[in-house]
Chains A and B, each alone.
Chain A
Amino acid sequence: MSSSLEKNMLILRSSDGEEFIVPEVVAVMSKAIKNMVEDECASNTIPVPNVDANILAMVIEFCKKHDESEAEAASDLKTFDSEFVNRGQEALYDLITAANFRDVKELLDALCQNVAEMIKGKSVHHIRIQFLGYQLFEILTSNFIWNIWCDRDFD
């Protein structure tokens, strides 16, 4: 720890070996990293296994924005969040697993909210086609009666 700059910066290494220099305040938005830093078991470089450079960059972008904009209007941050999470399904999956595994609460909340919005108001058939990759005829033949029963209203 030679200078104050180094002291407040951490290096995160993604699963494919790329390194990111991140301010400590941003890095510790991940509770998993925070615990490592607090327990002083983190050297200067913190490996982030299971998260590739592409996803790690996105997560860091999100955390930086949230760290900077604490004073900013909450509505601005909300717009940023909804634009940030609006991604393809593959990236969504990787982001969710990264946020969950590294315990980044704000990111996980925003992502889960997004997925919930995607599911909201959809019928079981629709969810099957959109998310579970079912084909229409599979749906018609499987659990047909059960679906009818479950689609009816409780009241």
Chain B
Amino acid sequence: METRSAKKKRLLKTENETETGEDWISDLPDAVLHHILFLLPIKSIAQTSVLSKRWRSIWSSFPDLDFTTTTNSVGHFSSTIIKYSSTRKRVHSPLAQGMDFIIPVLALRDKNSDLRILRFCAQLSFSRLNSLIRCAVRRNVQELDIEVATDDYFNLPRCVTTCESLRVFKLKSRYPGFRLPPLSIMKSGFQSLHTLSLSLVILYQQSSLVDLFTESSFLFSRS
């Protein structure tokens, strides 16, 4: 004997299958779903996290976080920076507020899943930048691609040089620039690095970057 609700469910189910097909996409392996989602802007990826529990876990373990695909375009970014550097005053740009969600996104990630790529373009304080970089290094990040404007000069966090998983490191400071750690630390660091790109480095009590390239071992074998 079939109850009324069971009958309703059964009918709905058959109707469902004929009209819309079954949920094949959620059955794909995580790696494939990550591959598919990587082709979308990060906002769309985040939105898929509400689809189901399965998709929530896909999002929380998503390894390639590219925040440069959000609506705050680079063009917008550069115009605010010009304004910022000419007046030398803090400008509360929409960009600065818009990028506040990077830290929560990282904090809400699955604790056991590693990051592969972290890419963002933002105007933020050094302490925030520092905590972002530290967080990424803790998650064994492989590619860091950062473009920033900060209030003041900052020192590159040392954890970046000692990060063993880091393969690609790009840091571009729009304003005002950053200092590198002492040469002795740089020399022994960057063990897995094969691409390095730094922009607006301030050489402070350091003769030149050439020393880094001649004295360290990593670039000989990898570049």
Q: Would A133 and B22 be within 8 Å (CB), given that A116-B40, A127-B51 are in contact?
A: yes
Query: In chain A, what residue has the closest Cβ to B42?
Result: A154
Counting CB contacts under 8 A, is A132 at the interface? yes
Counting CB contacts under 8 A, is A56 at the interface? no
Residues of the A chain whose Cβ atoms lie less than 8 Å from the Cβ of B44:
119-121
Interface residues on B, range: 35 or more
B-facing mask of A116-133, CB < 8 A → 1, else 0?
A: 100111001001111111
* Segment with Cβ contacts to A, from B25-33, B124-132, B184-192: B25-33
Counting CB contacts under 8 A, is A35 at the interface? no
Q: Would A150 and B47 be within 8 Å (CB), given that A133-B23, A135-B16 are in contact?
A: yes
Q: Judge whether B25 and A115 touch: CB under 8 Å.
A: yes
Query: In chain A, what residue has the closest Cβ to B32?
Result: A100
Q: Is the interface of B mostly helix, strand, loop or mixed?
A: helix
The residue from B23, B39, B50, B101 contacting A154, defined by CB atoms under 8 A apart: B101
Residues of the B chain whose Cβ atoms lie less than 8 Å from the Cβ of A119:
36, 40, 44, 48
Residues of the B chain whose Cβ atoms lie less than 8 Å from the Cβ of A120:
40, 44
B-facing mask of A122-155, CB < 8 A → 1, else 0?
A: 0010011111111100000001001100110111
Counting CB contacts under 8 A, is A4 at the interface? no
Residues of the B chain whose Cβ atoms lie less than 8 Å from the Cβ of A143:
50
- What is the CA–CA distance of A128 and B47 in the complex, to the nearest angstrom? 12
Residues of the B chain whose Cβ atoms lie less than 8 Å from the Cβ of A100:
28-29, 31-32
Q: Would A89 and B51 be within 8 Å (CB), given that A113-B39, A120-B44 are in contact?
A: no
* Segment with Cβ contacts to B, from A22-30, A75-83, A90-98: A90-98
Can you list 19 A-B contacts with CB-CB less than 8 angstroms, sorted by A residue number? A89-B21, A89-B24, A90-B21, A100-B29, A100-B32, A108-B32, A108-B35, A112-B36, A115-B25, A116-B39, A121-B44, A124-B48, A128-B51, A132-B51, A132-B52, A133-B23, A153-B71, A154-B70, A154-B71
List residues of chain A with CB under 8 Å of any chain B CB: 89-90, 92-93, 96-97, 100, 108, 112-113, 115-116, 119-121, 124, 127-135, 143, 146-147, 150-151, 153-155
